[in-house]
Structure formats: C-alpha cells, structure tokens
C-alpha cells in the first residue's frame, strides 16, 4: 500500500494517517523527519542539506527526492509507505513521478473551510499536561478551565482563527492544485498512474476511517 494523503490543515489527515499506518503496517514518510535524521547521521545528503539550512536557504526538491528515495530503500518500506504533507507543490509531484516513486492511491480528505476554522479555533489546551478540549465538541466542565487541575486553558497560536485562515489560504494557493494534478493523472489511464479517491471528511472519525478502508479495497 503506497499512498499520498491530501487535505487542508485541520482536515483530520494526522488522525487517519495513524490508522492507515497501523492497518497496513507501513511507515509515514515525513520529509522533516528525514532531513533531521540525515543531518544527525552525517550522510552525504544530510551534510549537503545541513549546509543549505545553515546558510538560511531552502532545501531543493532534487535533494528532498533523493532523501525520499534513500528512505524508501529501508526495510520498513517493503510493504509500502504513506506520504502526508508531501508533495506540497506540482514541482515536487513531478519530481516524484520522474524519479519513479510508485504511488498506488492518492486519498483526499475533503472538509469545507468553515468547518475547519470551527474545529481548530475551538480547541483549548491545558499547557501543563497537553490535555485538549473543544468548546463545542468536548467542552471542559468549567469554561476555560482544565477538568483535573482547574488551571486556565489556552488557545495555541496555530489554532487562532486568523492563523487558521492564513494556513488555509496558503493551502488553497499552493497545495490544492495537487488535487487537480493527481485527479487528471489518475483519469489518464497512463501506466503507473495512481487511483484517486476523494472522501468526505465531515462526520465521526470511525465513519471516515471506514470510508478510507472501503476506498482502498477498490
């Protein structure tokens, strides 16, 4: 099972990615984790990436793709792999294709922006323990207070409404075009083209999970 998970920030990709990893016994490929591991291990690619990062530059798509190819040779990728958060651009998607990185399915979790804003801006966190609440879906017993300690809950910067809206704008501007890219490739019938599955990400975690399982059987 080799797949890419697409969807806006807050669409629930992280929750479903954990389920997919467990269900199919495959690793989640994170470019950030790969970069850190390669730098820490002092591999040739890691040293190259370290130079770029220390100079304040952006790591090139070519370097990222080479890191991905190295990562996919590791034993835990024999049954497949899951990309979440990569590729982010058409350039990266094209580079993956040219490098012959096989993808069986592209799964899009679709959630309207207004629901994502409500989901994320309603989160409240107890900073001491990391316990998370939601003003609508899982409110604390006392508004603004942690159930166990009575201490104040906070809104993380990433969850503030204006931040969520900015992240969604970036997604629509830079990454959403991948939906069209992979949709067209899947419909082309080209050898090696992935299958594309679009799922409604509104509803219970269990229902969305069942939808993903069903989509990956066909």
Interatomic CA distance for residues 208 and 12, integer angstroms: 9
Cα-based torsion angle of the residue sequence 67, 71, 72, 77 in order, rounded to the nearest 10 degrees:
-160
The verdict on whether residue 163 carries a ligand-binding annotation is no
The verdict on whether residue 31 carries a ligand-binding annotation is yes
The verdict on whether residue 59 carries a ligand-binding annotation is yes
Active site residue 156: yes
Active site residue 71: no
Count CB atoms within 10 A of the CB of residue 124.
Answer: 22
* From 21, 50, 69, 88, active-site residue: 88
* From 13, 119, 124, 197, active-site residue: 13
Tokens of 174: 């830079």
Active site residue 167: yes
Active site residue 123: yes
- Beta-strand (E) ranges in 50-137? 81-84, 105-110, 123-125, 132-134
The verdict on whether residue 99 carries a ligand-binding annotation is no
The verdict on whether residue 74 carries a ligand-binding annotation is no
Interatomic CA distance for residues 3 and 186, integer angstroms: 13
The verdict on whether residue 18 carries a ligand-binding annotation is no
Active site residue 88: yes
> Phi-psi category of 212—alpha, beta or left, where left has phi over 0 and alpha has psi -120 to 50?
alpha
The verdict on whether residue 11 carries a ligand-binding annotation is yes
| Annotated binding-site ranges for AMP | 31, 36, 57-59, 85-88, 92, 156, 167
Binding residues for ATP are: 10-15, 123, 132-133, 203
Residues forming the active site: 13, 88, 123, 156, 167
Residues belonging to the binding site are: 10-15, 31, 36, 57-59, 85-88, 92, 123, 132-133, 156, 167, 203
């Amino acid at each position: 099972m080799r797949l890419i998970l697409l969807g806006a920030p807050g669409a629930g990709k992280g929750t479903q990615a954990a389920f997919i990893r467990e269900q199919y016994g495959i690793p989640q490929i994170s470019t950030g984790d790969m970069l850190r591991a390669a730098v820490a291990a002092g591999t040739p690619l890691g040293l190259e990436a370290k130079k770029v990062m220390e100079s304040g530059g952006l790591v090139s798509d070519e370097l990222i793709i080479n890191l991905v190819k190295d990562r996919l040779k590791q034993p835990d990728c024999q049954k497949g792999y899951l990309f979440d958060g990569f590729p982010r651009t058409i350039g990266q998607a094209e580079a993956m294709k040219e490098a012959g990185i096989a993808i069986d399915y592209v799964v899009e979790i679709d959630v309207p922006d207004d629901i994502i804003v409500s989901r994320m801006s309603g989160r409240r966190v107890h900073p001491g323990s990391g316990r998370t609440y939601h003003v609508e879906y899982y409110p604390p017993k006392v508004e603004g207070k942690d159930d166990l300690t009575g201490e104040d809950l906070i809104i993380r910067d990433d969850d503030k409404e204006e931040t969520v809206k900015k992240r969604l704008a970036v997604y629509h501007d830079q990454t959403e075009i991948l939906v069209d890219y992979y949709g067209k490739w899947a419909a082309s019938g080209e050898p090696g083209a992935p299958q594309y599955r679009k799922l409604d990400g509104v509803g219970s975690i269990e229902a969305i999970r069942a939808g993903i399982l069903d989509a990956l059987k066909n």
